[in-house]
Structure 1
Amino acid sequence: MNDDDVPQGEAERLFTVPITAELATVAATILKRFRELADDSLRLNHPEAFEQNTNSLLRKEDGELDALSEPLRSERHSLHGLLLETASLTKDNALDHVRALEHDLLMQPPPVWSPLALSRVVMEGVLFSEYLLDPTIPLNRRLARLAGMWRTDATYAQKQAEAHGQESAEAGQMLAYVEDALQKCQATERRNPKGKLVGYSFGSESEPLDINITQRATKVMPDWLPAPYRLTSGAAHNRPWMIGRARDLAGGEGLMGEAATVMAAVMVSMGAIETVVRVFGEYFGVDVSEALQMMKEEREAFLYEAIAIAHR
């Protein structure tokens, strides 16, 4: 949808009405449709299909790793395998939250802010996957991104273990394992002038310790979806400036869900699914153009149907 699709001044009034069962049903249906299109187009349950695509980035990078001498070849192959596993894990978690959102929308009484919180998890899971499989970057930068994320996660795991009373030695085992593995992969630590670890380098390619989700969302989410990360922030962080709208809609007592919340959650989730389909398709060499075109057409049809339902 572009600016020409909605009359001037109309956007401010769209969907500022309570959630109806009809709107919730249509929204849940389109999410299920997108999720199934993603599964079908990528054959996500059959990874061996990807390996048949000899021109894929995956096969190209496997060849680059094969050209290394031992033991570096085996160590970096293991790290690359972890990268693929991590990208698949975050994608699967994102799609699982789409499924949760489908059910959440159908609750009675209708949900209030939970759809936006769920859609934020969908988007973040997709952005992690995209960050690792980004088809525009070279292999060494990809490995540097995984190294930073892995090291950051190991630190989080250590802090969580210590918070639950585990012994320091036990809590530090994962961190020590990660540091040893990265050293064997010849990952170079990057430190700031104060000596603090800020990222890793592989050859001439460097990346920070972790993804900047806000910047990533701005860069890679579809351009028909303005500021998707900030759109979900107020609800996900329980900020009064945003969640107070639900009390106003309810007349000052209790909370009432708004159709605009449903629409925002659905649009963010659809944009995230389109993104992950595109990125997985490009990296693994799967033609997803038909699925993306179907998503575009069905997204636009859903939007007009939802407007008609909400403002009948």
Structure 2
Amino acid sequence: MTHDELPEGEEVRLMAVPITDAFAQAAAEVLREYREMVGRSVQEPEPKAESPFLAEVASIKSTPDPIGTARGSLHGMLLEIAGMSFDTALDHMKALEHDITREPPPVWSTLVMARAVLESCLFFDYLFEPSISGALRLARCAGLWRRDTDHSANLAKVLEREDEATEVDAYVTKALEACDIIARRNDKNRLTGYIVDGEVSNLDFNITDRARNRLPEWMPMPYGLLSGAAHGRPWMTDRARTMSKDGERLVGEAATVMTAVMVVMASMEMCLRDLQGYLGYELDTALAELEQYRKVTSLRLIGLAHAPE
């Protein structure tokens, strides 16, 4: 039998090997370089004149007051929270870079951090999706604002600050009414979403469905895998025991790190395509460079993962 052959019936399990120092250092460096490439591509370029963003701004400005001013404020909040989501994704990405190289090597934390990056990017994508109308964008923002207000109100009640919760609820209700945004309710009079100029949105979005439909085609649906790690489900976490010789300790494998890296790259690519489509940024060159970098470094990381120590 040559070195390239395997015993009959034995499968090749790519990356199903313990994390080595060389692999961990390289994976962290790949993430850092990728993050810096993303940062250089979005250094405050001006939105293009023909972009959906400027068309929406013009439409809002042409709307008679007081509705126009109110919608302008809501649109401004939309931009702020989308930007905050993008910055949050980058923060989790930086944390992941450090986590990969820790000792002992990580087991499931890399997937949990990648999930945090993905969720922040999906939030960003929900608000900046280029193909939707400006009215639907405002309706989505209204739904998210209301949903977050509900969470804040629940926290205020726990802290015995119910008056504060009531004030916030009243403020949001008044602000949305000023925008001429109509509350949508079901047969039981329960709020289910909002309507803006005929465009209908729910209060929130389904993360699993959005991850399935919005990530780049080269990224297989990862959310169930990430959730299994984040929620500590035995069907997922028990796998780590098979990597240890005694079957008792939890040992991280290169496959989890590689999955985390790919999820983060796919999430960032999704955000850049949103920026390109919504703000009109010229990102074709940057996206091509990121794709080439991903392909080259993926092969390098696979080689390092399986290299003998």
Normalization by structure 1: what TM-score? 0.92
Distance in 2 separating the partners of 1:204 and 1:227: 32
Which SS does the other structure have where 2:46 is aligned? helix
Superposed CA deviations along residues 93-125 of structure 1, whole A, max 9, x for unmatched, are 011100100000010111110000000010000
Change (3 A) 1:10 1:296: farther
2:33 is aligned with 1:19: no
Q: How many Å separate the matches in 1 of 2:304 and 2:21? A: 10
CA 1:10–1:93 in 2, change beyond 3 Å: closer, same or farther?
A: farther
Letter in 2 for 1:214: T
> What secondary structure does 1:172 align onto?
helix
Matched residue type, 1:75: A
The equivalent residue for 1:100 is 95
Letter in 1 for 2:114: S
> CA offsets per residue over residues 69-92 of structure 1, 9 Å max, x none?
011110000000011111101111
In 2, distance between residues paired with 1:10 and 1:155? Answer: 53
Moved over 6 A (4+): none
How far apart are 1:291 and its partner, in Å?
Answer: 1.1
Query: 1:253 Cα shift?
Result: 2.0
1:147-183 Cα deviation digits (max 9, x unpaired): 00000000001101212x2321112222221111001
Q: Specify the alignment match of 1:79 in structure 2.
A: 74
Equivalent of residue 263 in structure 1, options 251, 258, 278? 258
Q: How much does 1:10 deviate?
A: 10
Aligned pair 1:123/2:97, yes or no?
no
Match among 164, 170, 181 for residue 176 of structure 1: 170
Distance 2:253 2:10 in 1: 17
- Corresponding residue of 1:230: 224
Counterpart for residue 113 of structure 1: 108
- Report how far residue 193 of structure 1 moved: 0.8
Post-superposition Cα deviations, 1:135-155, rounded to whole Å, max 9, x if no partner, equal 000000000000000000000
Instruction: Name structure 1 gaps, 5 residues minimum.
Output: 1-8
Conservation of the 8 A alpha-carbon contact between 1:32 and 1:102: yes
The Cα of 1:228 is off from its aligned counterpart by 1.6
Decide which of 266, 291, 295 is 1:296's aligned counterpart.
291
Contact between 1:147 and 1:200, CA under 8 Å: does it hold in 2?
Answer: yes
The aligned residue for residue 166 of structure 1 is 160
**What SS does structure 2 have at the residue aligned with 1:198?**
strand
Sequence identity percentage? 43
CA contact (8 A) 1:80 1:143 kept: yes
- Cα distance in 2 for partners of 1:295, 1:115 equals 21
Q: Write the distance in 1 (CA, Å) between the matches of 2:46 and 2:215.
A: 24
Which has the larger displacement, 295-304 or 148-157? 295-304
Given the superposition, is the C-alpha separation of residues 154 and 10 from structure 1 closer, same or farther in structure 2, using an over 3 Å criterion? farther
Give the stretch that moved more between structures: 146-155 or 54-63.
Answer: 54-63
Deviation, 1:309, is: 1.1
- In structure 2, the residue matched to 1:6 is none
Aligned CA distance change for structure 1 residues 10 and 304 (closer, same or farther; 3 Å): farther
Deviation at 1:215, TM superposition (A): 0.8
- Residue 149 of structure 2 corresponds to which residue in structure 1? 154
Q: Structure 2: 5+ residue runs without aligned partners?
A: 1-8
Tell me what 1:50 maps to.
46
Q: 2:74 and 2:256 mapped to 1: Cα distance?
A: 40
Q: Using structure 2 for the length normalisation, give the TM-score.
A: 0.93
Match of 2:193 among 194, 199, 213: 199
How far residue 11 of structure 1 moved from its aligned partner, in angstroms, is 8.6
Aligned mates of 2:280, 2:217 — CA distance in 1: 24
With over 3 angstroms needed to count, the CA separation of the structure-2 counterparts of 1:210 and 1:10, relative to structure 1, is: farther
Distance of 2:126 and 2:12 partners within structure 1: 34
Letter in 2 for 1:193: D
Q: 1:197 to 1:106 in 2, by over 3 A?
A: same
Q: In structure 2, give the amino acid aligned to 1:125.
A: S
Q: SS at the partner of 1:189?
A: strand
